[in-house]
Structure 1
Amino acid sequence: MESSTVAEQITATALESALDLESPPTVRSCWRPAAGSVAETFVVALETIGDENQRSPAVPERVVCKLGGASVWTGDVIEPLVLGQVSESSSLPVPAVLASGSIEIDSGDGPAHGDRWALYEFRDGQNAGECYHTLGADDRRRLVAQAGAALGSLHSLSERDPRLAFDRVGGLARESDGEVLEWTELKCWHALDPPARLRLALPVPLAGDDGCRPVLTHGDFQPNNLLVTPTGDITAILDWGNAHVTHDEYALARAEVRFVDLHARRFSRAERERLRAEFRRNYAAHATLSDEFDERALHYKLLWALQSGANYARIVRSARGRQQLWRQCQRLLGRETTATP
């Protein structure tokens, strides 16, 4: 059965139960968003206009249905639980979880797959990765300032919610009953725990060191996982499937690469430094930022490069992973490469 058909059936059945409808809502259309995702993601448009006696006004016009989406760190589907706790503990702009569950999907030519699913609130906005280079300079700086503040707010959640306080770098997984999020050992190598020889050569706090402050982080915080208005205001932070626990400075440096350093061909050095300053200043308004971060950032960015290589090597071992990487490459090759002041 086609994944889109499965998404339509899950949406209709789940909303009928969640909204206590007399009959399942009618699906008008179903499509994949242009941007990629860890999960198989579909936007499902629903019929909300009709006989008022038959149709509940509570039916949303659109929802997002995700199938699968196992974390690269633990192999578990954790996004619904992560979003539930983040939304309870903060005012970060994250989609509401409407329903979640599990189902066996028979592809017809192989083993069942994508057994976990979730329905999310649809959020309006343009993918920031698609407009990041065409925004006006002031609007782009506004976006980066808000992104820095959002990451700082996320990293400070442990101060307000004991469930999100951690003492070790690690992954996140579902507890045995499937409804509770818990810390777990990573199932793969992490850059913050390098071989002893490399650890001795790095003058930065690493996993287990006194200066390493473990925090919940997004896992892939970058423009492609943000929705924004035409003026750069963030309306949603998406794709939390790889959320995990890591050192706050490492996560900040990694995000800075995605918002600033990777855009050297598009933005002048002066513009990149303005964006970097905005990102760090707004992060520091919500979370602790060491005075030594400026010296440590480059080391963490180099570790992130090693981590990315290890992650990609693991992803390409599966056919589905190779397909996701190919879609990302196609998007990257289609972008312009002219610099802006």
Structure 2
Amino acid sequence: MPTDPLERIVETAFDADVRSCRRPHSGSVAETAVLELENARGDVPRRLVCKRGGASIWTGDAIESAVLRVLEQRSDLPVPGVLASGKIVGERGSARETDPLERWACYEFLEGTNPGPGYATLEPTVRRRLVADAGAHLGRLHGTPGLEFDRVGGLARGENGTDLVLCEPTGWHAVDSDTLREQLPISVPPTGDSGRRPVLTHGDYQPSNLLVDDSGAITAVLDWGNAHVTHAEYALARAEVRFVDSYVGRLSRAERRRLRSLFRAAYARYAPLEAGFDRRAPLEKLRWVAQSGSNYARLLGDSRGRRQLWRQFRRLLE
């Protein structure tokens, strides 16, 4: 009988033995392992990814498997398929029964290399292909029919454990510029305009949450545990920081300008990009900085959040 919780989950879900277990050094805040199986039957793959926990920072619920099922049904984005999901059974009414850390899911293993650790040192042509693909995939997500919303907010699982429910907005991503417009020195469109469309977005879209091939083409977008609904322009600006602006001092100004242009042009092929976004982007990026500080402060005030931050810190050290 395996002693590792993830190995026990796989044995129960697939009636298969675990040959080997590898824990990635980067990825989501969930407890994650890449497992090689033996004695797998039927269409059960020999290699899969198993996760336990991974509570959304917006709602505290483990939503990744539900988000991926929606994306599988309604989009053609390169995301892992959900093989099985469930929760570790606890006594009815107990803390364990409702604890998102007790939820688990097994996902399809997708081939590719994580470009995050060496992103700044990639060959320029490879990095440019990656950034263009990243912009296109974000645009496809924001432009996918059937993923429209009328307001921003966090996401949680519905009563059946698979549907997604939009929750009341929290955190800085929910600040609507309508309330700030008269105080701002630049023109910001109201909610309802194309740039202020509420859209489903990844929540942590950056090089470390991608897999790519040798040419820089994206083969998978991973780690959807913090997906939520926010304004399209805000999500685009936030992603631009992660792919371009945060590499000041490591990439030349000319290269950053080129990457920014590639990212926006690729996005605009699939989702509307309003004129004037270049003027509004700095404000949206400043809001992201404020949102990040707010989120970390919220995590520090909660014992589970502190464990999550400690896990992330250990991964950085590794």
Q: Same fold (TM over 0.5)?
A: yes
Q: Distance in 1 between matches of 2:118 and 2:137?
A: 19
Equivalent positions of 1:34-113 (< 5 A) are: 34-47=25-38, 56=41, 58-104=43-89, 112=96, 113=99
Q: CA deviation at 1:197?
A: 7.9
Q: Residue 190 of structure 1 corresponds to which residue in structure 2?
A: 172
Q: CA deviation at 1:47?
A: 1.7
Q: Distance in 2 between matches of 1:105 and 1:207?
A: 47
Does the CA-based 8 Å contact 1:218-1:244 persist in structure 2? yes
Q: Residue 297 of structure 2 corresponds to which residue in structure 1?
A: 313
Q: Residue 183 of structure 2 corresponds to which residue in structure 1?
A: 201
Q: Distance in 2 between matches of 1:133 and 1:189?
A: 30
Q: How many residues align?
A: 311
Q: What whole-Å deviation, never above 9, does each CA across 1:93-136 have from its counterpart, x for those lacking one?
A: 10000011111489xxxx74522111100111111202212210
Aligned equivalent of 2:197, options 185, 203, 213: 213
Which secondary structure does the structure 1 equivalent of 2:203 belong to? coil
Which secondary structure does the structure 2 equivalent of 1:35 belong to? coil
Aligned equivalent of 1:296, options 256, 268, 280: 280
TM-score w.r.t. structure 2 length? 0.89
Q: Residue 263 of structure 1 corresponds to which residue in structure 2?
A: 247
Aligned equivalent of 1:123, options 86, 110, 133: 110
Residues 44 and 79 of structure 1: is their aligned pair in 2 closer, same or farther, counting only changes over 3 Å?
same
Q: Residue 20 of structure 1 corresponds to which residue in structure 2?
A: none
Q: What whole-Å deviation, never above 9, does each CA across 1:132-163 have from its counterpart, x for those lacking one?
A: 12210000000000000000000011xx22xx
Residues 192 and 298 of structure 1: is their aligned pair in 2 closer, same or farther, counting only changes over 3 Å?
farther
Q: Distance in 2 between matches of 1:216 and 1:166?
A: 8
Structure 1 regions of 5+ residues with no counterpart?
16-23, 49-54, 335-341
Aligned equivalent of 1:239, options 220, 223, 248: 223
Matched, 1:139 2:138: no
Residues 307 and 180 of structure 1: is their aligned pair in 2 closer, same or farther, counting only changes over 3 Å?
same
Q: Distance in 1 between matches of 2:189 and 2:309?
A: 29
Q: Residue 140 of structure 2 corresponds to which residue in structure 1?
A: 153
Q: Distance in 1 between matches of 2:236 and 2:71?
A: 18
Q: What whole-Å deviation, never above 9, does each CA across 1:169-228 have from its counterpart, x for those lacking one?
A: 111111222221122213x32244279985543345488565621111011100111011
Q: Residue 20 of structure 2 corresponds to which residue in structure 1?
A: 29
Matched, 1:250 2:250: no
Q: Residue 178 of structure 1 corresponds to which residue in structure 2?
A: 161
Which secondary structure does the structure 2 equivalent of 1:129 belong to? coil
Q: Distance in 2 between matches of 1:133 and 1:330?
A: 22
Q: Residue 11 of structure 1 corresponds to which residue in structure 2?
A: 10
Q: What whole-Å deviation, never above 9, does each CA across 1:62-100 have from its counterpart, x for those lacking one?
A: 111111111111121111111111121121110000011
Which secondary structure does the structure 2 equivalent of 1:56 belong to? coil
Does the CA-based 8 Å contact 1:193-1:199 persist in structure 2? no
Q: Distance in 1 between matches of 2:256 and 2:76?
A: 28
Q: Distance in 2 between matches of 1:315 and 1:322?
A: 6
Does the CA-based 8 Å contact 2:20-2:36 persist in structure 1? yes
Structure 2 regions of 5+ residues with no counterpart?
none
Does the CA-based 8 Å contact 1:86-1:92 persist in structure 2? yes
Q: Distance in 2 between matches of 1:34 and 1:333?
A: 10
Residues 175 and 328 of structure 1: is their aligned pair in 2 closer, same or farther, counting only changes over 3 Å?
closer
Q: Residue 276 of structure 1 corresponds to which residue in structure 2?
A: 260
TM-score w.r.t. structure 1 length? 0.83
Percent identity between the two aligned chains: 56
Does the CA-based 8 Å contact 2:29-2:311 persist in structure 1? no
Q: Distance in 2 between matches of 1:30 and 1:83?
A: 23
Q: Distance in 1 between matches of 2:25 and 2:10?
A: 20
Which secondary structure does the structure 2 equivalent of 1:236 belong to? strand
